[in-house]
């Protein structure tokens, strides 16, 4: 089941449906003209960054609501930065994670250990849990980890083996290496700029190589995949592909764009980030 849809885009905006709520938000990539101007009149609320961060019509929205995105139920809420608690361009990645972990579980006849770094509200964590993987969810924001835990409850996964960790990612990885813990599948979606649990500064251009080396240190002897998406301008698919090829000494790295897509024919897909992934040959399907 899916209750998300890109309705239209253009003039630096995107019009999206999240269950019963239709939102008009900024989208710098959408430099073309909107295709259906009448649709935009249906927006329940409008967010702009032109004169500071401002919602218009926010008071008419519920404080929070639950929407199903590619089979995963998520609590959504309008934040002061215009975010909602989901980046729907990652939903194809969730499907891939679920399918890949399920296939490898059948092959190995045992659950895999899946590590989700910079894990936000937990969509990918729950995709892994749905596949039967034992999950570890790591984010520096206590509020986002609690949001993700609430999402697990909504999806009846509160009792599933998921470790919920509030920590700076690099410090967490260093401790996991010392503890000798390893993971079969790893996803990391680093921010362009962020702060760790203790206020540690994270700038992707300076910190990502260190993070990737630490990720390599917690990979199991029989890894399934490493998935690296990014929303950082300049981090093209080729950049991410080069990083994973160098890290894993492998030419078997796929890459591409993350896209917002609509259900109606003719709706332009909107590029909304990039990704690269390495997959062990035995897990390809």
Contact (CB, 8 A) for 254 and 279: yes
d(CA 220, CA 184) in angstroms, rounded, equals: 5
Whether residue 204 has pLDDT greater than 70: yes
pTM above 0.85, yes or no: yes
Mean pLDDT for the stretch of residues 70-96: 97
What topology does CATH give the domain 88-283? Rossmann fold (3.40.50)
Mean pLDDT for the stretch of residues 121-144: 97
Contact (CB, 8 A) for 200 and 163: no
| CA distance readout (Å), 200 to 102, 140, 167, 197, 228 | 36, 10, 10, 7, 22
d(CA 82, CA 31) in angstroms, rounded, equals: 20
Show Cβ contacts of residue 284 under 8 Å, excluding neighbours closer than 6 positions: none
Mean pLDDT for the stretch of residues 182-193: 93
Would you place residue 7 in the very low, low, confident or very high pLDDT band (cuts 50, 70, 90)?
A: very high
Mean pLDDT for the stretch of residues 131-150: 97
d(CA 136, CA 162) in angstroms, rounded, equals: 5
Question: Domain residue spans in the chain?
Answer: 4-76, 88-283
Whether residue 284 has pLDDT greater than 70: no
What percent of the chain is modeled with pLDDT above 90? 89
Whether residue 36 has pLDDT greater than 70: yes
Mean pLDDT for the stretch of residues 54-82: 96
Whether residue 236 has pLDDT greater than 60: yes
Show Cβ contacts of residue 83 under 8 Å, excluding neighbours closer than 6 positions: none
What pLDDT does residue 197 have?
66
Would you place residue 31 in the very low, low, confident or very high pLDDT band (cuts 50, 70, 90)?
A: very high
At 8-23, the pLDDT tens digits run 999 999 999 999 999 9
At 97-124, the pLDDT tens digits run 999 999 999 999 999 999 999 999 999 9
Confirm whether 4-76 and 88-283 share one CATH topology: no
To which residue do tokens 């089979």 refer?
A: 71
Would you place residue 285 in the very low, low, confident or very high pLDDT band (cuts 50, 70, 90)?
A: very low
What pLDDT does residue 214 have?
98
Would you place residue 51 in the very low, low, confident or very high pLDDT band (cuts 50, 70, 90)?
A: confident
- Average predicted confidence (pLDDT) for the chain: 95
Nearest to 147 by CA among 123, 170, 171, 168: 123
Which residue has better confidence, 18 or 193? 18
What pLDDT does residue 282 have?
65
Secondary structure of the chain in the HEC alphabet? CCCEEEEEEECCEEEEEECCEEEEEECCCCCCCCCCHHHHHHCCEEEECECECEEECHHHCCCCEEEEECCEEEEECCCCCCCCCCCHHHHHHHHHHHHHHHHHHHHHCCCCEEEEECCCCCHHHHHHHHCCCEEEEEECCHHHHHHHHHHHHHCCCCCCCEEEEECCHHHHHHHHHHHCCCECEEEECCCCEEECCCCCEEEHHHHHHHHHHHHHHHECCCCCEEEEEECCCCCCHHHHHHHHHHHHCCCCEEEEEEEECCCCCCCCCEEEEEEEEEECHHHCC
Q: CA dihedral in degrees (35, 40, 45, 47; nearest 10)?
A: 40
Q: Which two tokens stand for residue 70?
A: 């590619």
What pLDDT does residue 205 have?
81
Question: Could you name the CATH architecture of 4-76?
Answer: Sandwich (2.60)
Taking every pair of Cα atoms in the chain, the longest distance, rounded to a whole number of angstroms, is 58
């Amino acid at each position: 089941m899916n209750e998300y849809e890109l309705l239209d885009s253009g003039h630096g905006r995107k019009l999206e449906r999240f269950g019963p709520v239709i939102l008009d938000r900024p989208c710098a990539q959408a430099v073309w003209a909107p295709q259906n101007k009448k649709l935009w009149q249906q927006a329940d609320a409008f967010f702009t960054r032109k004169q500071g961060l401002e919602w218009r019509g926010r008071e008419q929205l519920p404080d929070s609501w639950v929407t199903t995105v590619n089979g995963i139920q998520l609590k959504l809420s309008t934040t002061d930065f215009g975010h909602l608690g989901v980046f729907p361009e990652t939903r194809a990645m969730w499907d891939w994670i679920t399918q890949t972990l399920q296939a490898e579980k059948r092959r190995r006849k045992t659950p895999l250990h899946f590590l989700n770094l910079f894990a936000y509200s937990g969509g990918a964590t729950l995709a892994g849990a749905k596949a039967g993987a034992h999950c570890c969810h790591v984010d520096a924001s206590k509020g986002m980890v609690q949001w993700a835990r609430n999402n697990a409850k909504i999806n009846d996964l509160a009792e599933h083996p998921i470790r919920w960790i509030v920590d700076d990612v690099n410090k967490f990885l260093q401790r996991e290496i010392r503890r000798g813990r390893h993971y079969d599948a790893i996803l990391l979606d680093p921010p362009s700029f962020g702060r760790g649990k203790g206020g540690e500064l994270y700038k992707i251009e300076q910190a990502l190589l260190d993070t990737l080396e630490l990720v390599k240190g917690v990979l199991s002897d029989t890894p399934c995949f490493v998935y690296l998406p990014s929303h950082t301008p300049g981090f093209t698919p080729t950049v991410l592909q080069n990083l994973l090829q160098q890290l894993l000494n492998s030419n078997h790295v796929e890459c591409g764009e993350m896209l917002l897509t609509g259900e109606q024919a003719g709706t332009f897909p909107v590029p909304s980030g990039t990704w690269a992934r390495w997959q062990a040959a035995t897990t390809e399907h």
